[in-house]
Amino acid sequence: MKETIGSRRIGEQYQKILHPSGLTILLYPMEGFQSAYALFATNYGSVDETFKTEGDADFVTVPAGIAHFLEHKLFESEDGDAFARYAKTGANANAYTSFDKTAYLFSCTDHFKESIEILLDFVTHPYFTPQTVEKEQGIIGQEIRMYEDNPDWRVYFNLLGALYHVNPVRTDIAGTVESIAKIDADLLYRCYHTFYNLHNMTLAVAGNFDPEVVLEAADRILKAAPKQELTRKVAEEPGDVRTSLVEQKLPVALPLFQIGFKGKAGTEKENLWGKIADEVLLDIIAGDSTPLYRRLLEAELINQSFEGEAMASRDYALTLFSGESRDPKRVRDEIATEILRLRSEGIDPEMFDRVKKAVYGRYMGMYGRADALAGLLVTAQFADVDAYEILEMLASLTLEQLNRRLPVSFDVERCALSIVRS
């Protein structure tokens, strides 16, 4: 089944194909581009620790870090390493695991046909043995220990551990040395066949490529996947934060901080809209054009590293401010005071219009970059919307909606501060 999805707003369109294998394929040729970018993703991330299919009598819980472990292992096969195969085509390949998805990707200017075939082939042909799993446990264990001493990583996951009591988002995406020691080949195959079912996956390609080449490769390589019911168990997370302050000592020139606000998650589509609204609110509260930002900068309480971020997925939502400061607690207090002022007085309409236009401009820029666009296509598909609906959500955002959203996303009673200092 093929569908053309277009946008009158920006005058562009792309193709959405439901392939006979069960895979959703999104094709977005971009005129004037020299390179192509492909993203093959599964709706499966580190938070998916407890789940069941229709064949399971009860939920199964797997060790933390197994999604990330799978990402590493899929590049290996009986015939060698996928990176070695890509080296022959000249493509730049990579992969990542996030809280809610795992993705395999490449970009290339030549030999697109060979590169897309490699991508579809190695992701759909797992190969795990006790020996290779044991070897990978040592490699990932070293990676975990390295990040234990990384100040930027620690200040981030310390914040998540402060905000959340039991939600798996509080756990390092790679897991722990203890949790990955419990992973074996059978568990990897179990998770692979559960979450790498093609009905749970999306292939997005953007840039300079021939759509027919993608479809021909899919027809040759992909086998029809059985439809399955998949249920993920949502953690019963309390509404409050676990602790309001967490500090750790590591070598840093200036204390690092992250100030987080625990939000309320909804459906994936609601979370996508909420994330967009929260990005606007972050810039209204302490963006670089606000009086608060200038005051903090002039008082030397922050520097150019200061920024905000909104996060949301299937069962969590949060906003955070991060940076370096000699007095992180004062930065937190100043931000809390500004939030309470905005809640009391309401958001200034002129500020709302200015920030909304700026955020809209940032999103428009993503539609002009093949890598960012492929990511948007996947994000939208997993949220059950089309890629242009993201722009429509932002364009239709009102001042009244933001004033109602503010106390939900920025509740000063559901706030935690993470600090890493020497």
- The residues annotated with a catalytic role in the active site are 71
DSSP state of 198: G
* Helix/strand/coil (H/E/C) assignment for every residue in 82-116: HHHHHHHHCCEEEEEECCCCEEEEEEECCCHHHHH
DSSP state of 225: P
Tokens of 103: 């993705």
Element (H, E) at 50: strand 50-53
**Residue with tokens 């030549």, as numbered in its chain:** 110
Contacts of 31 (CB under 8 A, 6+ apart): none
Q: Could you tell me the CA-to-CA distances from 214 to 16, 158, 373, 409 in Å, in that order?
A: 12, 42, 17, 41
Give the burial class of 408: count Cβ atoms within 10 A of its Cβ; 0-12 exposed, 13-18 middle, 19 or more buried.
middle
Do residues 418 and 162 lie in contact, with contact meaning Cβ atoms separated by under 8 Å? yes
Tokens of 104: 């395999």
CA-CA distance, 172 to 407, in Å (whole number)?
28
Tokens of 386: 């089309």
Give the burial class of 345: count Cβ atoms within 10 A of its Cβ; 0-12 exposed, 13-18 middle, 19 or more buried.
exposed
SS3 (DSSP) at 146: helix
Q: Could you tell me the CA-to-CA distances from 11 to 69, 216, 388, 396 in Å, in that order?
A: 41, 28, 11, 18
Do residues 278 and 287 lie in contact, with contact meaning Cβ atoms separated by under 8 Å? no
